[in-house]
C-alpha cells in the first residue's frame, strides 16, 4: 500500500466516524422522577436576570404561562404570586429564588416550581447586522422534595418573527439596514415579542425532550 493511499483511507475513516457521531440521536431525558411526582400545578418564579436589560425578567415571565397551560398544567397566577412576594418583602428575582422549596409549597400549594435564568435579552448591533436575541434556561423543581424533575433551554431572535427587511446595496446597504433594524427594535421593544417564541421553545411539551403532558391535556399519560 502506498503512503498516499494510506492517508486517503485514514481520511475517509475519520470522515465516516464524524458522520456517524453526527447521526447519533439525542439521548432522551430521564423522566423517572417526573413521572413519580406527577405535578399538576406549577409556580413560575420570576426569572433571574443575567443580562444588562432591566426588563428581561418581566418580559420573559409574562410569556411563560401560556405554553404551560396549553400543555395541561394549572399555573399559579403570576400577578397573585408577585403581590404575595411583595407583601413579604421579596422584590427581586434573586431574593425570591432563595426561598426554600417547602416554604413555597406551603404558601402557594403548587406541586412544582420553575427556576429560570435569562442570559440574553435585547438588541445587539454588529456593525453590518442587528438582531434581537432572548435566551433562557430553566429547571422544574419538585416543591415537596426539592429534586429536579426536568430542565430545558430556549432561544429565539428577531429573525424568527419574519418580515425582516432585506439588505441591499452592498456594505453601505447592510450598514443602513442594521441601523434601521436597531432603531425599530428599540422603539417597538421587539424583545417582548421574541420572548414569546423563546418561552414556547423553553417550555416545550411532549417528545422527544420536552415537559411531560400535564393532567389537563388530552395527551396526558401518552408520553
Angle ∠(185,186,190) on CA atoms, nearest 5:
45
Any domain includes 15: no
CA distance 92 to 89: 9
**142-164 burial: b if 16+ Cβ within 10 Å, else e:** bbeeeeebbebebbbbbebeeee
Any domain includes 218: no
Any domain includes 51: yes
CATH number of the CATH domain containing 121: 3.40.50.10610
Residue 39 reports pLDDT greater than 50: yes
The whole-number average pLDDT for the span 17-36 is 70
Look at residue 162 in the predicted model and tell me its pLDDT. 74
Strand-pairing partners, residue 211, are: 205
Q: Give the H or E element holding residue 14.
A: helix 3-23
3-state secondary structure of 163: coil
Look at residue 163 in the predicted model and tell me its pLDDT. 56
CA distance 153 to 204: 9
Any domain includes 1: no
Any domain includes 48: yes
Q: Where are the alpha helices (DSSP H) in 123-204?
A: 170-188, 190-202
Any domain includes 18: no
Any domain includes 131: yes
Residue 51 reports pLDDT greater than 60: yes
Give the count of domains, the chain.
1
> Tens of pLDDT along 55-70?
999 999 999 999 999 9
Look at residue 196 in the predicted model and tell me its pLDDT. 96
Any domain includes 19: no
Domain that holds residue 77: 28-203
> Tens of pLDDT along 85-144?
999 999 999 999 999 999 999 999 999 999 999 999 997 664 444 689 999 999 999 999
Amino acid at each position: 500500500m502506498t503512503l498516499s493511499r494510506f492517508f486517503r483511507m485514514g481520511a475517509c475513516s475519520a470522515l465516516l466516524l464524524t458522520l456517524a457521531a453526527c447521526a447519533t440521536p439525542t439521548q432522551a431525558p430521564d423522566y423517572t422522577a417526573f413521572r413519580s411526582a406527577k405535578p399538576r400545578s406549577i409556580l413560575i418564579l420570576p426569572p433571574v436576570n443575567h443580562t444588562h436589560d432591566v426588563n428581561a425578567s418581566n418580559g420573559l415571565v409574562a410569556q411563560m404561562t401560556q405554553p404551560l397551560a396549553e400543555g395541561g398544567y394549572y399555573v399559579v397566577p403570576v400577578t397573585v404570586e408577585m403581590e404575595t412576594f411583595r407583601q413579604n418583602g421579596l422584590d427581586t428575582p434573586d431574593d425570591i429564588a432563595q426561598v426554600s422549596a417547602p416554604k413555597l409549597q406551603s404558601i402557594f400549594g403548587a406541586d412544582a416550581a420553575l427556576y429560570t435564568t435569562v442570559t440574553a435579552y435585547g438588541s445587539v448591533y454588529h456593525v453590518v447586522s442587528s438582531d434581537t436575541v432572548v435566551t433562557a434556561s430553566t429547571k422544574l423543581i419538585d416543591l415537596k422534595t426539592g429534586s429536579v424533575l426536568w430542565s430545558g433551554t430556549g432561544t429565539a431572535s428577531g429573525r424568527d418573527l419574519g418580515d425582516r427587511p432585506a439588505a441591499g446595496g452592498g456594505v453601505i446597504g447592510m450598514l443602513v439596514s442594521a441601523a434601521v433594524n436597531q432603531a425599530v427594535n428599540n422603539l417597538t421593544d421587539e424583545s417582548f415579542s421574541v420572548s414569546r417564541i423563546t418561552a414556547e421553545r423553553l417550555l416545550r411539551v411532549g417528545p422527544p425532550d420536552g415537559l411531560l403532558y400535564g393532567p389537563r391535556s388530552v395527551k396526558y399519560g401518552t408520553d
